[in-house]
């Protein structure tokens, strides 16, 4: 499900850039910023690179009751759904001669998500029908935190926007059991 979401975000941003700038090529890619040996990837130069930074579970919705309404005569017992937030980085990986162009694309990206803070998940083929909406909130990190993030990635700091994307709902757990509904309580009076 995460892969479908990132591909959809990439496609939305590429279409936005094509409409705004009249481009024929795609400028946004979903990829690691570096290969496994820590080297920069040539195919990512002069591109907006989108990658998943972290995943966190929504703690307030974590401990839901494991029974959900099934039919009129039963409940389904299954593991609770997972409500997740994804931290998504979109960075301008442009060489120094194209630095200002990269900042322009980053500005357009921020503008796009400012105007589209909520995306309807029904427009994403294959995404679970349990997802109500997908929200985008820009994250502000301190300089120290930002430095730690880029050090962990193994890259120099690039102009970037980090978004908290929520609530992605994983609700594909199998039904563990079917519990019948109690229709009435038959009680005998004791005298």
Asked if residues 33 and 43 have their Cβ atoms less than 8 Å apart, the reply is no
Mean pLDDT of the chain: 84
Q: Whole-model pTM?
A: 0.79
**pLDDT, tens only, 56-90:** 988 776 656 555 556 666 666 766 677 889 999 99
Which range, 61-70, 76-85, 96-105, 127-136, has the best average confidence (pLDDT)?
A: 96-105
Nearest in space to 76 (alpha carbons), one of 62, 85, 66, 84: 66
Nearest to 102 by CA among 8, 24, 21: 21
Closest Cα to residue 158, out of 107, 111, 99, 118? 99
Give all domains of the chain, ordered by start, each with its CATH number. Answer: 2-13+23-64+76-173 (3.30.2000)
CA distances to 75, 76, 77, 167, 179 from 71, in Å: 7, 9, 12, 27, 10
| Arithmetic mean of pLDDT, 114-126 | 82
pLDDT at 169 > cutoff 80:
no
Q: How far apart are CA 89 and CA 141, in angstroms?
A: 12
């Amino acid at each position: 499900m995460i892969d479908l979401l990132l591909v959809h975000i990439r496609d939305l941003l590429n279409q936005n850039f094509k409409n705004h700038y009249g481009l024929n090529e795609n400028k946004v890619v979903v990829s690691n910023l570096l290969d496994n040996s820590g080297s920069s990837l040539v195919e990512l130069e002069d591109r907006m690179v989108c990658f998943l930074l972290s995943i966190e579970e929504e703690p307030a919705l974590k401990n839901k009751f494991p029974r959900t309404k099934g039919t009129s005569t039963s409940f389904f017992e299954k593991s609770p759904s997972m409500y997740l937030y994804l931290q998504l980085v979109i960075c301008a990986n442009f060489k120094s001669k194209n630095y200002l162009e990269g900042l322009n694309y980053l500005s357009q990206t921020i503008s796009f998500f400012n105007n589209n803070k909520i995306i309807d998940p029904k427009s994403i083929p294959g995404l679970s029908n349990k997802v109500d909406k997908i929200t985008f909130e820009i994250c502000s990190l301190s300089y120290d935190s930002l430095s730690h993030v880029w050090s962990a990635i193994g890259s120099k700091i690039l102009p970037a926007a980090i978004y908290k994307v929520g609530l992605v709902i994983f609700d594909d757990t199998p039904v563990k059991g079917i519990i019948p509904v109690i229709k009435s309580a038959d009680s005998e009076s004791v005298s």
